[in-house]
Amino acid sequence: MKTNAYIAGVGMTKFGKFLDQGLKAIGTKAIEAALADANMDKSELQAAWVGNAAAGLVTGQESIRGQVVLRHAGIGKIPVINVENACASASTAFNQAAMMVSAGLYDVAIAVGVEKLYHEDKTKSFGAFTGAVDVEAMEEIMTALKKSAESSGATEASGGAGKKRSMFMDIYAAGARNHMKKYGTTVEHFAGVSAKNSFHGSMNDRAQFREALTVEQVLASPMIAEPLTRPMCSPIGDGAAAAIIVSEKKAKELGLQNPVKILCSAMVSGWDHEDDAPGAADLAASMAYEEAGVGPEDLSLVELHDASAPGEIFAYEALGLCAKGEGGKLISDGVTKLGGPLPVNTSGGLLRKGHPVGATGIAQIVELTEQLQGRAGDRQVEGAKIGLAHNGGGSIRNDGAAMCVSILGR
């Protein structure tokens, strides 16, 4: 849907491992940062959408996650809508808040994403991802992943999915092997994604990992599931992000300086289709471009869902940044690195900034907003005018379960 809403302020925590902090403390930091950025008081908020994917499994907090976090931040009375949509939870919260403001129901809304994935019992953390597929088809999924690994001689990927690691790394690994076979994509292309994003993340003080890596270092790292080495896999994390969304009327009232407009936010779910056919990401992207009246050639930068290094290359192609099969070339040609024609994941992406799943979508919005306002420091994309955020979650058969593509403009 085409929107008519603006971002008045954004805020986020550092992403990382915070065993001594709960959802309330982490979420409150992001909320307070967004309010300060907007120069607004919490009493001005009229409604809230709070994204979280895994608290029920990891912390035991169910049913009223958003209310618990907001009450701790001193915010009550207003309607609070809890949003759970796998890794797309925060982008869904953002989408819904923007829609409601655009529809004229509210002048001021806050969208929050908050997650705690680190736990002393690692099986709880991995269980959060295992539940983001059709669990009634689990045996079929695991058999297919094992068969795919064995047929390609991938010994590490032949066992341990969902126990030693998130099973989504095995899903991405299978997709990577297929892409390599079909298009000639190389493991060096995937390593190049990780190296690029590590360079970007080294300049982001909110990123979980700050070390810049070379392609050689990425390739020499421990193998997780062939062809994915550890730096090619996004880490779990704890963190929160928030965005305050206002109507055009409120934006004028506030006298927003250098405002960022939400040009559109397209939300879709996957469906059953042929393996080679366009899927949820392709559909969401085409809808977003049409609604915003722009095309891939108009973008200044992109924050996309690099839950794995191959996932970034898949997203290039789904978003129309290049033709199918040519994603690897964008890496080898330096197109998506800072200084290139279309920087991607200047925040460090999920691979380096981290992936607290329920917060990731709004963290992307934070990065785009700061870039469009010229306040991204060493990571600044010169003359940034239009930014795209791509965030997906879950998997059912051969497509993503949820997909959101939003486009922001200066």
134-159 in b/e form (b: 16+ CB < 10 A) is eeeeeeebbeebbebbeebebebbbe
At which residue do the structure tokens 């992936």 appear?
355
Catalytic residue among 119, 189, 200, 355: 355
The CATH code belonging to domain 2-120+236-409 is 3.40.47.10
The rounded distance, in Å, linking the Cα atoms of 180 and 234 is 20
**Residue 233 is a catalytic residue:** no
Are 322 and 328 in contact, with CB atoms under 8 Å apart? Answer: no
Along the 410 residues of the chain, how does pLDDT read in single tens digits? 678 999 999 999 999 999 999 999 999 999 999 999 999 999 999 999 999 999 999 999 999 999 999 999 999 999 999 999 999 999 999 999 999 999 999 999 999 999 999 998 888 887 778 899 999 999 999 999 988 988 888 887 767 666 678 889 999 999 999 999 999 999 999 999 999 999 999 999 999 999 999 999 999 999 999 999 999 999 999 999 999 999 999 999 999 988 999 999 999 999 999 998 999 999 999 999 999 999 999 999 999 999 999 999 999 999 999 999 999 999 999 999 999 999 999 999 999 999 999 999 999 999 999 999 999 999 999 999 999 999 999 999 999 999 999 999 99
Can you give the residue ranges of every domain in the chain? Answer: 2-120+236-409
Q: Which of 87, 264, 322, 404 is catalytic?
A: 87
- Torsion from C-alpha of 7, 83, 403, 340, nearest 10 degrees: 40
Task: Tell me the two tokens of residue 243.
Answer: 């965005």
Q: HSE of 284 in the Cβ direction (CA atoms, 13 Å)?
A: 33
Residue 355 annotated to the active site: yes
pTM to 2 decimal places:
0.97
Please give the order of strands across the beta sheet that includes 108-116: 80-83, 47-51, 108-116, 238-247, 2-12, 260-269, 399-409, 386-396, 301-303
